[in-house]
Chains A and B, each alone.
Chain A
């Protein structure tokens, strides 16, 4: 079984609530869930949708065909009716939409009337709709009851009971009036974790002992700030809303200098403002993690939509030369663990780490296996307490074999910690002489980079181990490429090559992915941008040139079906 449900409506109508509730019901019932959202940059009105796919098998992308459309506005019908699969249905409330559809695949459910009659207020129309969808699927209301109870605990039993009655009314109506409903899901056991990409990044920060997060609100990264703010008391985290992104990164650098793990997050436009501070992190060797959420640009672009247009910006931004790492997770699980690795690398090498993602990964919700907390890396690289006090001498930028100098926590010992954005000597004081400059560049950059590069994991090969066709990608396209490989692998030798640790570019020592590319007959580079930035990087770093490129830059994510269409156009 593999069903897709689309809830469409205006901003403010509550499609998010219906979508979140249904997703939670499916995950708690043991199904695999994948959801994505499409919304406009506005608070009220417009047309938005929330798409849920659920299955008894593992899924990690959206399909084009829809089984049930919940239409809360006329546009949901006008725009999406043609997406219905055979046997699919649109449910709507003719009295609130003020239009009637007589076709077989329409089911008119009086959401508002049932809400008033059974719940006491038309506010509960969305609960009626949720119950109705469950009725169409012939799923019982037990899980929904639990969710409604959790949601409305603070509002009291009356509100809980009214909502349960409204849900029952929708459920009964659908069971009674939709004898043709034939999408019956197989029953599943156990509950599944349900998490969005953006939550996985924020949770990764919490799990890494992040203590300070400063940011300026900007889609699609605001979710990190919101999540961490909700965990401030529990974990001892300070979240500071800065006056601008310049301030945000400088605050995080200050907190890191003072001795705590620090992070900031933004989108491409905000990152442009942070770039000066990125260079400051490089020169002062102050650890910091930056979450960079891409959205279609240049300038303001399409603020609520998706693109992979900032990869080269993330890698090459800032004046001067200094080491950094850039990670691009493709799933919530990768987002969690790579955020953790970003912290570890930042602290270990005293560098900026960038976790680059996009609106699509931020907003998609998955049901991964439970995160493995044993894989969390937590090493304290700071020089603090007695270890610092007992030293006989301290130099913040002491020359060492590895280029890594002791990162003292100011105030813990009688030694002062001096950091400088000017070129400096081992003590941190301003210098001008050429000899010290050369030694500092070697320490800060040339000695560290080979060590950092050794820690970069190779790309992931999924599918045939000696493929004739390779679908390469990076970051958020992981799920859709992997599903395309599953579909195409019948009768074909095909594999996905996915890069999530992108910079420094992975070497071929641990895994010779270049030979795989060179031996394949056809290699695609699939990206959500117009110019093929990853393909460009691959050529710059390895000399390998992709012959085929699939680029989507309309601000919308690939679905499995439209990616297959593009690939089939090449391979026939």
Chain B
């Protein structure tokens, strides 16, 4: 069984106090508790502070381009669906640059686990508004305040009938760890949107701000009721729900592709001898 020591990675270059530290801790605890070894899964990350995440633990890694985590992760998963594939992205990365991929990955219902470090700001480029920044927020590059409406990724995901939709909080480590474990164990596409304070550039959505508003969904809450889930998804402001907000049992893409019913693509060999027969089709 792996221990936390097996997951020791590079020294993080995040700001002291960054919400990412909590997310990293929860994630390591989750994979250790699930008994998953470093070589048994792949993290695909994009660009931004969240993009550095896999370097700070130990695992197969594809740290690709801004916004493109989900396509790369989709390719990996289709080539080897016995590999656990986790996509890690920021709010700008996944909901902005990669918005189209987000929508279509949910539609495919491919068994990827998407963990979005949602700090409602662009950190690495120093403080520009992201899709989840509140309307009216004043920034250096938007001096009149953000005109666009704040995006609600939870509501969008439920509208697309996403197979697993949850919200966690970087400063609620045990709860977040359990959400990550549930997301990993769920068959199909899982989204965990993680509220993550940015101590340097987001002076509004602070640890305190989230703590005053965030609450755990009641034990009797039924995440399989889509209409009620949508109502919870719209809660934002005074009260922000944390937990598994919605899930369903939609058919999973990998199980619907006949080619990989018996074995993953990467384990299948190419039979050159068949080519003679194929050539005959051109006569």
**Interface: B18 (CB within 8 A):** no
Q: With A207-B275, A420-B63 in contact, do A233 and B259 touch (Cβ < 8 Å)?
A: yes
Bound complex: CA of A191 vs CA of B79, how far in Å? 39
**Interface: B268 (CB within 8 A):** yes
Contact indicator A211/B79 (Cβ below 8 Å) = yes
Contact indicator A251/B72 (Cβ below 8 Å) = yes
**A 255-293 to B, binary, CB cutoff 8 A, 1 in contact else 0:** 111111010000000000000110010001000000000
B:60-96 near A, CB below 8 Å: 60-65, 68, 70-80, 82-83
Q: With A27-B283, A195-B282 in contact, do A421 and B272 touch (Cβ < 8 Å)?
A: no
B:233-283 near A, CB below 8 Å: 257-260, 265-266, 268, 270-272, 274-276, 278-279, 282-283
**Interface: B37 (CB within 8 A):** yes
Q: Name B263's closest neighbour in chain A (CB-CB).
A: A236
Contact indicator A258/B79 (Cβ below 8 Å) = yes
Contact indicator A280/B270 (Cβ below 8 Å) = no
Bound complex: CA of A253 vs CA of B258, how far in Å? 22
In the complex, chain B residues whose CB is within 8 Å of the CB of A244: 100
Q: With A410-B83, A411-B60, A421-B65 in contact, do A250 and B71 touch (Cβ < 8 Å)?
A: yes
Q: With A417-B60, A418-B60 in contact, do A260 and B52 touch (Cβ < 8 Å)?
A: no
Contact indicator B279/A370 (Cβ below 8 Å) = yes
Q: With A194-B283, A420-B63 in contact, do A251 and B74 touch (Cβ < 8 Å)?
A: yes
Bound complex: CA of A259 vs CA of B54, how far in Å? 20
In the complex, chain B residues whose CB is within 8 Å of the CB of A28: 283
In the complex, chain B residues whose CB is within 8 Å of the CB of A260: 79, 265-266
In the complex, chain A residues whose CB is within 8 Å of the CB of B75: 212, 214, 240, 250-258, 262
In the complex, chain B residues whose CB is within 8 Å of the CB of A413: 39
In the complex, chain A residues whose CB is within 8 Å of the CB of B44: 254
**Interface: B173 (CB within 8 A):** no
**Interface: A91 (CB within 8 A):** no
- A413 → chain B, closest Cβ, in Å? 7
**Interface: B25 (CB within 8 A):** no
In the complex, chain B residues whose CB is within 8 Å of the CB of A42: none
- B179 → chain A, closest Cβ, in Å? 25
**Interface: A371 (CB within 8 A):** yes
Contact indicator A243/B101 (Cβ below 8 Å) = yes
- A206 → chain B, closest Cβ, in Å? 7
Q: With A410-B42, A416-B59 in contact, do A254 and B282 touch (Cβ < 8 Å)?
A: no
Q: Chain B: interface secondary structure?
A: helix
Q: Identify the stretch in A7-15, A422-430, A461-469, A494-502 within 8 Å (CB) of chain B at 4 or more residues.
A: A422-430
Bound complex: CA of A430 vs CA of B14, how far in Å? 13
Contact indicator A418/B61 (Cβ below 8 Å) = yes
Of A211, A258, A419, the residue contacting B83 (CB under 8 A) is: A258
Q: With A207-B272, A242-B71, A411-B39 in contact, do A212 and B65 touch (Cβ < 8 Å)?
A: no
In the complex, chain A residues whose CB is within 8 Å of the CB of B282: 193-195, 199
| Interface residues on chain A, number (Cβ under 8 Å) | 67
Contact indicator B61/A254 (Cβ below 8 Å) = no
With a 10 A CB-CB cut-off, give which of A191, A246, A411 has the most chain B CB atoms: A411
In the complex, chain B residues whose CB is within 8 Å of the CB of A232: 258-259
**Interface: A128 (CB within 8 A):** no
**Interface: A247 (CB within 8 A):** yes
| Interface residues on chain B, number (Cβ under 8 Å) | 54
- A95 → chain B, closest Cβ, in Å? 37
Bound complex: CA of A243 vs CA of B61, how far in Å? 24
In the complex, chain B residues whose CB is within 8 Å of the CB of A236: 259, 265, 268, 270
Contacts between the two chains (Cβ within 8 Å), count: 191
In the complex, chain B residues whose CB is within 8 Å of the CB of A193: 279, 282-283
**Interface: B167 (CB within 8 A):** no
Contact indicator B72/A235 (Cβ below 8 Å) = no
Q: Name B80's closest neighbour in chain A (CB-CB).
A: A258
Contact indicator A276/B65 (Cβ below 8 Å) = yes
Contact indicator A238/B260 (Cβ below 8 Å) = yes
Q: Name B67's closest neighbour in chain A (CB-CB).
A: A246
Of A233, A277, A373, the residue contacting B68 (CB under 8 A) is: A277
Q: With A211-B265, A211-B268 in contact, do A277 and B65 touch (Cβ < 8 Å)?
A: yes
Contact indicator B39/A410 (Cβ below 8 Å) = yes
Q: With A254-B79, A259-B79 in contact, do A430 and B52 touch (Cβ < 8 Å)?
A: yes
**B 101-128 to A, binary, CB cutoff 8 A, 1 in contact else 0:** 1011000000000000000000000000
**Interface: B150 (CB within 8 A):** no
**Interface: B55 (CB within 8 A):** yes
Bound complex: CA of A211 vs CA of B72, how far in Å? 16
**Interface: A90 (CB within 8 A):** no
Bound complex: CA of A63 vs CA of B153, how far in Å? 60
Contact indicator A284/B270 (Cβ below 8 Å) = no
In the complex, chain B residues whose CB is within 8 Å of the CB of A415: 39
Of A250, A255, A373, the residue contacting B64 (CB under 8 A) is: A250
**Interface: B222 (CB within 8 A):** no
**Interface: B58 (CB within 8 A):** yes
The 4 closest A-B pairs by CB, nearest first: A254-B75, A250-B71, A209-B270, A258-B79
Q: Which residues of chain A have a CB within 8 Å of any CB of chain B?
A: 27-28, 191-195, 199, 203, 206-207, 209, 211-212, 214, 231-238, 240, 242-244, 246-248, 250-260, 262, 276-277, 280, 284, 370-371, 373, 376, 378, 409-411, 413-422, 428-430
Q: Which residues of chain B have a CB within 8 Å of any CB of chain A?
A: 10, 37-40, 42, 44, 47, 52, 54-55, 58-65, 68, 70-80, 82-83, 100-101, 103-104, 257-260, 265-266, 268, 270-272, 274-276, 278-279, 282-283
CB<8 Å pairs between A and B, sample of 13: A206-B275, A212-B75, A235-B270, A247-B71, A250-B68, A251-B71, A251-B74, A253-B72, A254-B78, A376-B275, A416-B59, A416-B60, A418-B63
Contacts beyond the supplied A417-B60, A418-B61: 12 A-B pairs with Cβ under 8 Å: A214-B75, A238-B78, A238-B265, A254-B72, A254-B73, A255-B78, A262-B79, A276-B65, A378-B270, A411-B42, A416-B38, A421-B64
